[in-house]
């Protein structure tokens, strides 16, 4: 007698992520899965990006949080479609949560969709949501030992944004060391140093985004 076995969680997720990916391709939307630990500055980056590229791209944002809508409220502005996902305890977004949020977005009217994942350096990395790439944000106040301690997120990201460079004089963070350790884990990783507070480096991030959207 053969007993049917429910597929593993990650396999089931991969199937839905593929559906999402097909939808994104169909509508020509470039999708970023934005990941970081809590408080690295994801929402501020979103605010600056949407403002800085106003009129150039039609942005959509999916905000992933355990609860509350504070981030969605910060990002909401005329011409930006924002959907909040409250995971209700779950430590990451998965393909199915994104699939549900897509019903609330008109993909045909978007150029770029940025998904702000739950602040967590571990679990979000395991769950494909159908994105084109992962962009990781690391703030200098978190310390330069993070590549060594959370290697998977460095391995899986296409771009690392080192944020809060304005705090560099006040913290023990060796930029060269963090670059070296990150590239040891992922030699293809692109790295841009930014400060969402002063605006330093944001032009390079905008250029990166423009290039990637152009290739979509």
Chain residues binding a copy of itself by CB under 8 A are 37-39, 65-68, 70-71, 89, 91, 118-123, 139, 141-143, 145-146, 148-152, 164, 166-167, 170-171
Closer of 50 and 72 to a copy of itself (Cβ): 72
In whole angstroms, give the CA distance from residue 73 to residue 200: 25
Taking alpha carbons only, the member of 71, 134, 63 closest to residue 93 is 63
Minimum CB distance to a copy of itself, residue 102 (Å)? 23
Contact 72, 53 (CB under 8 A): no
In whole angstroms, give the CA distance from residue 53 to residue 11: 36
Minimum CB distance to a copy of itself, residue 58 (Å)? 27
Closer of 106 and 145 to a copy of itself (Cβ): 145
Minimum CB distance to a copy of itself, residue 39 (Å)? 3
State the chain's maximal CA–CA distance in angstroms: 67
In whole angstroms, give the CA distance from residue 163 to residue 87: 26
Closer of 107 and 167 to a copy of itself (Cβ): 167
What are the residues facing 161 on neighbouring strands? Answer: 137, 192
Minimum CB distance to a copy of itself, residue 56 (Å)? 28
Closer of 148 and 191 to a copy of itself (Cβ): 148
């Amino acid at each position: 007698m053969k007993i049917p076995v429910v597929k593993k969680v990650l396999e089931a997720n991969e199937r839905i992520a593929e559906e999402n990916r097909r939808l994104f391709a169909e509508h020509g939307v470039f999708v970023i899965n934005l990941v970081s630990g809590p408080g690295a500055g994801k929402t501020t980056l979103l605010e600056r990006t949407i403002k800085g590229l106003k009129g150039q791209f039609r942005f959509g944002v999916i905000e992933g949080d355990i609860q509350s809508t504070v981030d969605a409220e910060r990002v909401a502005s005329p011409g930006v479609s924002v959907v909040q996902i409250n995971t209700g305890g779950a430590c990451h977004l998965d393909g199915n949560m994104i699939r549900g949020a897509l019903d609330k977005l008109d993909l045909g009217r978007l150029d770029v969709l940025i998904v702000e994942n739950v602040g967590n350096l571990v679990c979000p990395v395991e769950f494909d949501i159908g994105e084109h790439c992962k962009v990781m944000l690391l703030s200098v106040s978190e310390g330069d030992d993070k590549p060594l301690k959370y290697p998977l997120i460095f391995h899986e990201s296409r771009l690392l944004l080192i944020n809060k460079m304005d705090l560099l004089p006040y913290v023990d963070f060796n930029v060269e060391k963090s670059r070296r350790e990150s590239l040891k884990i992922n030699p293809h990783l692109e790295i841009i140093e930014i400060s969402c507070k002063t605006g330093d480096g944001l032009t390079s991030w905008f250029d990166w985004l423009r290039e990637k959207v152009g290739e979509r």
